[in-house]
Amino acid sequence: MRVLILYETRRGFTLTVARATRDELQRRGILATTAPLRGVDHGTVAAADALIVGTWVKGAIVVGVAPALGVEEGIARLPSLDAKPAAVFCTCDVAPGKTLDLLAAWLRRRGAAVTVGETFKRKKSLRQVPRFVDVVLEAFARAQAVA
């Protein structure tokens, strides 16, 4: 299975989570790569069997909390995702608001089958990566079994 991890980062923490997730998948023998959401080419997306999409959270802590600017447009520009299994994650300082729901909804509009979402708050949350990968791989395996 080829897993493509797409990320939107500003100061690098979302990229760190994306890379840690890629490394954990690779340790388990999965072909995993990362690419910037807004820079990925259509061929790379088409070649992936499953997607993980992550963004940082932008807002005013209690109002307007959502995926970073440009994420909705970046997802809209992806090729049709054709029922590919997908997971979403976000990174934030305080709380993600509806970020994961919005990310999932935008990906579903492109045809992805999103079943997993995870929030990472700052550095110590990198400890969550192995458990996140457990849940993602279980969901992807279930999706393959019914396909």
Ligand X SMILES: Cc1cc2nc3c(=O)[nH]c(=O)nc-3n(C[C@H](O)[C@H](O)[C@H](O)COP(=O)(O)O)c2cc1C
Tokens of 140: 């992807």
Indicate the residue among 9 and 34 with the shorter CB distance to ligand X: 9
Least distance (Å) between residue 117 CB and ligand X:
15
State the DSSP code for 32: E
124 belongs to the binding site for ligand X (CB under 6 A): no
65 belongs to the binding site for ligand X (CB under 6 A): yes
**Per-residue x/- marks for ligand X, 77-106, CB under 6 A?**
--------------xxxxx-----------
The answer to whether residues 139 and 116 touch, using CB atoms and an 8 Å cutoff, is yes
Secondary structure (DSSP) of 59-114: EETTEEEEEPTTHHHHHHTSPP-TT-EEEEEEEESS--TTHHHHHHHHHHHTT-EE
Indicate the residue among 92 and 139 with the shorter CB distance to ligand X: 92
Interaction site with ligand X (CB under 6 A)? 9-14, 56-61, 65, 91-95
